[in-house]
């Protein structure tokens, strides 16, 4: 039996805990956390993500600001918008939606972000703090993956973890987080040799490559826990599009102890962690203790593990 890790349910729990904290902040301190999301261009997937983030931000009782800029916006103009928002006391967190158009360097944008308002954790200071064990802001997707792993497995100490993918936004911060949890971490990428064998050694696999169903049944160690970050849009022969992950989900069933589905796994957790990070930065900016979030154990009725 393989447990299906219910990211949607966990995300709902995190969002409702965040909403409760926000309610207390507003009541006790008159503080309403504010999140500004900047979208450059008209990427259809990004437009959906941004709309969704705005809706859930409002639902959590926070202020949502939406900045839309045309695709041809010069980098300097985006940096001016970031600067203006960073000086706005009603804005506690700022997120620049990726991907950016080619004339804008993501590194220049991350460098311009005030680390105290950088809810994505991509600014150089927050990246450094993650790697040196400090208390910066942790990128939302890896943070969501870690929530799910800890909820599923409890203490991760000593487990062998493979992170497939080494991007700055998922793979590298994920590996740093797992190292912080005392896992033995391997990072694999497009130049790695014997990928299947590397994967088969791992108790935890986090797949973030953007290659549909790359991970097959015989790559998976029996009893491993799989977090599938991949979001791949494929078109079926009937012309309908659907989302699939980087892991062959059907094949993994019966081999893995637990796996996240796509959709309904990591995706909802990313947005929930964004709200959590926004709450955290707002508290820190006002010297109010930032909340710790813990999740209840998974629903054992729908979760059973082999052995």
Interface region with ligand NDP, contact rule CB under 6 A, candidates 54-62, 68-76, 112-120, 205-213:
205-213
Interface with ligand NDP (CB under 6 A), residue from 189, 201, 233, 242: 189
Asked if omega into 199 is within 30° of 0 (cis), the reply is no
Interface region with ligand NDP, contact rule CB under 6 A, candidates 111-119, 155-163, 188-196, 219-227:
188-196
Chain position carrying tokens 């400090």: 134
| Sequence-distant (≥ 6) Cβ neighbours of residue 135 within 8 angstroms | 129
The count of C-alpha atoms lying within 13 angstroms of the C-alpha of 70, restricted to the half-sphere facing its C-beta, is 3
264 binds ligand NDP (CB under 6 A): no
141 binds ligand NDP (CB under 6 A): yes
Catalytic residue, from 6, 117, 118, 120: name it.
Answer: 120
97 labelled catalytic = yes
Cβ 283 vs Cβ 200: under 8 Å? no
In the numeric block, which tokens belong to residue 285? 């900016």
In whole angstroms, how close is the CB of 77 to ligand NDP at the nearest point? 25
Q: Which residues ranging from 165 to 184 are in contact with ligand NDP (CB under 6 A)?
A: 165-167, 169-171
Helix axis angle for 44-59 and 266-285, nearest 10°, is 50
Nearer to ligand NDP, 112 or 209 (CB): 209
Nearer to ligand NDP, 112 or 174 (CB): 174
Cβ 183 vs Cβ 143: under 8 Å? no
299 labelled catalytic = no
Catalytic residue, from 53, 117, 172, 221: name it.
Answer: 53
Chain position carrying tokens 């926070």: 62
120 labelled catalytic = yes
Alpha carbon of 271 to those of 15, 51, 189, 241, 266: distances in Å? Answer: 9, 11, 26, 23, 9
Chain position carrying tokens 């079926």: 236
| Count of residues that interact with ligand NDP, criterion CB under 6 A | 26
Nearer to ligand NDP, 76 or 197 (CB): 197
If one counts every other C-beta atom within 10 angstroms of the C-beta of residue 88, the result is 13
Interface region with ligand NDP, contact rule CB under 6 A, candidates 52-60, 148-156, 207-215, 219-227:
207-215
191 binds ligand NDP (CB under 6 A): yes
Interface region with ligand NDP, contact rule CB under 6 A, candidates 65-73, 155-163, 223-231, 279-287:
223-231
Sign of the Cα torsion 148, 154, 155, 161 reads negative
Nearer to ligand NDP, 34 or 171 (CB): 171
Cβ 143 vs Cβ 273: under 8 Å? yes
The helix/strand/coil state of 298 is: coil
Site string for ligand NDP, 82-121 (x = CB under 6 A): ----------------------------------------
In whole angstroms, how close is the CB of 229 to ligand NDP at the nearest point? 4
In the numeric block, which tokens belong to residue 236? 């079926």
Active site residues: 53, 97, 120
Binding site for ligand NDP (CB under 6 A): 141, 164-167, 169-171, 188-192, 195, 208-211, 214, 229-232, 266-267, 270
């Amino acid at each position: 039996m393989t447990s299906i890790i219910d990211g949607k349910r966990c995300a709902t729990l995190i969002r409702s805990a965040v909403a409760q904290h926000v309610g207390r902040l507003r009541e006790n301190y008159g503080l309403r956390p504010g999140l500004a999301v900047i979208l450059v261009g008209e990427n259809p997937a990004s437009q959906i993500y941004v709309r969704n983030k705005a809706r859930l931000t409002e639902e959590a009782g926070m202020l949502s600001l939406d900045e839309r800029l045309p695709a041809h916006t010069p980098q300097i103009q985006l940096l001016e918008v970031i600067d203006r928002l960073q000086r706005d006391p009603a804005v506690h967190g700022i997120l620049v939606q990726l991907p950016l158009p080619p004339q804008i360097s993501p590194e220049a944008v991350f460098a311009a972000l005030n680390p105290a308002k950088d809810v994505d954790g991509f600014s150089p200071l927050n990246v450094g703090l993650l790697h040196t064990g400090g208390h910066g802001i942790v990128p939302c997707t890896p943070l969501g993956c870690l929530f799910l792993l800890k909820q599923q497995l409890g203490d991760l100490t000593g487990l062998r973890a493979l992170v497939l993918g080494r991007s700055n936004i998922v793979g590298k911060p994920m590996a740093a987080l797992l190292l912080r949890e005392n896992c033995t971490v391997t990072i694999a990428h497009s130049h790695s040799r014997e990928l299947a064998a590397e994967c088969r050694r791992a108790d935890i696999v986090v797949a973030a490559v953007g290659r549909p169903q790359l991970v097959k049944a015989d790559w998976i160690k029996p009893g491993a826990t799989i977090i599938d970050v991949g979001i791949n849009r494929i078109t079926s022969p009937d012309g309908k599009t659907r989302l699939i992950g980087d892991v062959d989900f059907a094949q993994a069933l019966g081999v893995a102890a637990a796996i996240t589905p796509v959709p309904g796994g990591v995706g909802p957790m990313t947005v929930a962690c964004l709200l959590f990070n926004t709450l955290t930065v707002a508290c820190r900016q006002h010297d109010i203790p930032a909340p710790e979030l813990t999740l209840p154990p998974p629903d054992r009725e729908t979760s059973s593990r082999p052995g």
